Chains A and B, each alone.
Chain A
Amino acid sequence: MKKITKLTLLILAVFFLASCKPTRPLFYWGNYSDAYYKYIKKADDKATERYKTSIVNIIEKSKEWEIKVPPGIYAEYGYLFLQEGNKDEARKYFNLEMETYPESKIFMTKIMTNL
């Protein structure tokens, strides 16, 4: 019984809050899967650019919506910089990934030690 009351309250609270502020998804992924698929199929300049634009768009939109940048996205951005030979920018985004998601620390640290 108690559980049901709690749940009802929770649902009501969610509805109430939802009416004040636009509901945002947990994460914004934009056209990531489509852009990434084309990138792995054919990593030419056009597909790479599209994939990069998709990532930039995710980061910008997440900031605009005041939600967290999805897991892995900062790291993927950093990795793109790394492939362009821009180690400083790469390191910056690997660190951002680690700050946003501490559970990525072991992996990010490993990648950065090889830089």
Chain B
Amino acid sequence: MKKLNIIIAVLITAILASCSTTAKLTKAEAFPRMYSETPLSIVVAPPINEVTAADAGEFYISTIAEPFTMHGYYVFPIPIVRQVLQDEGVYNTLQELPQPDVAQKMYTLFGAEATLFARIQKWDKKYRVVAGSVTVLIDYQLVSGKTGEMLWSHAKEVVIDTSGDSGNNAGIAGLIVNLVETAIKTATQDFVPVARMANSLALIAFPFGEYSPLFNKDNDVKVVVFKSKVGETGAVTEEKSKAEEKK
């Protein structure tokens, strides 16, 4: 019965995929391989930077470990991985995604059960007189090192307010927003909080891993899976989806 549900859900998703669409699924239906493989360890591959902001890659790399660990995953030490890949001459050599063979190599090399790839597609800073914002689009792809299969992917444009006005973001992730505001107010040229926010939002519906008390308890949580004409894809929580509809 459950299988049939999944098939129906997949069919519906496939039919609707031709246009902009959303579908309500459980997390286990949305990301079945995450729940069948339950990867514990993640290695972060150097991001592919497609934007003119040269710093974007560094903002990404310095903020990506934290949210994945907070979801209960082991993330390999970023600085050491970076150095090892540089020594091997493979840092910043990725040109396109997906890269199942690289993920499988990371499994043999580091024992990483999954590799996180990313393409930074937008990092547009807008300055206004009293406020500002950064439009961020990162295409995240988590690939299994064991099978080379895509475990999870997410690509959704987010506009992050750097003005310190919480009006727009209230209720999304209150605590994080507050942290972001504080940090932005104290360091004007610092976009670390923006990257933190973008990564946190991308992981809003991400399944919890073994170190989280919610591991294997979020299977039936409903999420809104979306797919847009411009290639955006991923899932958000129901609350987040409702908040967006209201806008």
Contacts and interface: CB of A to CB of B under 8 A. Distances in A.
Chains A and B bind each other: yes
A29 interface: yes
A72 B70 contact: no
A60 B133 CA distance: 35
B66 A107 contact: no
Contacts of B211: 26, 68
Interface string A34-67: 1011001100000000000000000000000000
B110 A106 contact: yes
Contacts of B192: 33-34, 37
Contact of A111 (B72, B75, B80, B196): B80
Given A34-B190, A37-B58, A107-B110, A71 B80 contact: no
A72 B75 contact: yes
A75 B75 CA distance: 11
Contacts of A27: 66, 69-70
B243 to A, nearest CB: 22
Nearest to A37: B62
B72 A26 contact: yes
Interface residues of A, number: 30
B89 interface: no
Interface string A1-20: 00100000010000000000
Contacts of B72: 26
Interface in A72-114: 72-73, 75-76, 79, 97, 101, 103-107, 110-111
A103 B40 CA distance: 8
Contacts of B40: 103
B59 A104 contact: no
B220 interface: yes
B30 interface: no
B183 interface: yes
Nearest to B79: A76
A36 B62 contact: yes
B20 interface: no
Interface centre among B40, B59, B65, B110 (most CB of A within 10 A): B65
Given A3-B220, A97-B77, 18 more contacts: A26-B70, A26-B72, A26-B212, A27-B70, A34-B190, A36-B62, A36-B79, A41-B55, A71-B69, A72-B80, A73-B77, A103-B41, A103-B74, A103-B111, A107-B76, A107-B110, A107-B112, A110-B110
